[in-house]
Amino acid sequence: MAERSKRICLYDKEKIEHTNPETLKLFQKYQIDMSIRDLSPNSIKQYTSDLYQWFVYMYDNQFNLSVLEATDDDLNEYFYFRKQEGNNVARQRRVMSSISAFYKFLRKKKLIKESPTEFLERPKQGQPVIKQTFLNVDQVNKLREKLAEYGDTQLQTYIFFGLSTMARVNAMAHLRWEQVDLDERTCIDVLEKEGKIVDLYFSKEVEELLRKMKSEREEKQINDYGWVWYTPYITEEECINNGTLNDWCKKAGEMIGVPTLHNHDLRHSGSNILKELGMDIQDIAELLHHESTETTVKHYLTVNKKKVKDNKDKFTF
């Protein structure tokens, strides 16, 4: 029997109302176009549902982007999120078709020259649903060893910064040196999900790596325009994109036999390791900037079945 796809519910009326105004205006035109084409009410309902969920994701995780600004990297991030949440190939293809149809409309209206969906790899039937990865302490130690051997200070710093701060990828991508207090090992006034301003805390190891990375750039006279993460393509206004950071994660993951390692896996792994080391759930939730521990427990922590079994053995009757 085919695996039943897990449903994802992102709909939020208030967030829809505050979606990027340009996106909403274009979507209203698209709704008129769908009605003119005599699509069935069920088809229109499905397209609308798929697009609303995408709009909410952009509102929550991509600084409320306009659909005209979204890139193939932004869409790849969204579809990866859906895979992590348990969508099977059939549902992924359907959602991708809904978004592609919307971009086809925008192209027909000459509002875009090319659709970012054209650059996406379509999921193939039988392709497994990607599950989130939780690195354990042994894997992190192996990763530390491999990255040190590889010799790319920025790559090493980014991976351990992500594990240590457990920050979301957009927050890390937009991080500037002026926000980083190396002495206090804190990043201040960081823009996070839903427009929240938060602080991030990093380890002594990461502090030393950041200092080393900064020193190397000064020696090589590299102008990073004040951004913490550098590529030759950044400018004073444009920071590194999420797709590049994901490529860095994949490269690091391949070093330890985890080629599917993704940006958000650093967040999952860091929080789960803290739990295994004994940190209080409430403190972990605070570091993740969750409003309640329910989200932390449900999506960010795994159950150590051996520990549960060993604990049960203590209570014989």
CATH of the domain at 238: 1.10.443.10
- Do residue 150 and residue 82 come from a single domain? no
In the prediction, which pLDDT does 77 show? 86
Helix axes 89-108, 41-61, angle to 10 degrees: 90
CA geometry: angle at 224 spanning 221 and 226, to 5°?
120
- Residue 189 belongs to a domain: yes
- What are the backbone angles phi and psi of residue 277, rounded to the nearest 5°? -85, -5
- Do residue 208 and residue 145 come from a single domain? yes
In the prediction, which pLDDT does 98 show? 94
In the prediction, which pLDDT does 315 show? 53
User: Residue 263 belongs to what domain range?
Assistant: 137-308
- Do residue 71 and residue 27 come from a single domain? yes
In the prediction, which pLDDT does 126 show? 52
In the prediction, which pLDDT does 129 show? 45
- Residue 4 belongs to a domain: no
- Do residue 52 and residue 198 come from a single domain? no
Residues of the chain with pLDDT under 50: 1-5, 128-130, 308-309, 312, 316
Assessment of whether the complete model's pTM goes beyond 0.75: no
- Do residue 146 and residue 285 come from a single domain? yes
The number of distinct structural domains making up the chain is 2
- Residue 249 belongs to a domain: yes
In the prediction, which pLDDT does 262 show? 86
Q: How many Å apart are CA 15 and CA 282, to the nearest integer?
A: 27
- Do residue 144 and residue 245 come from a single domain? yes
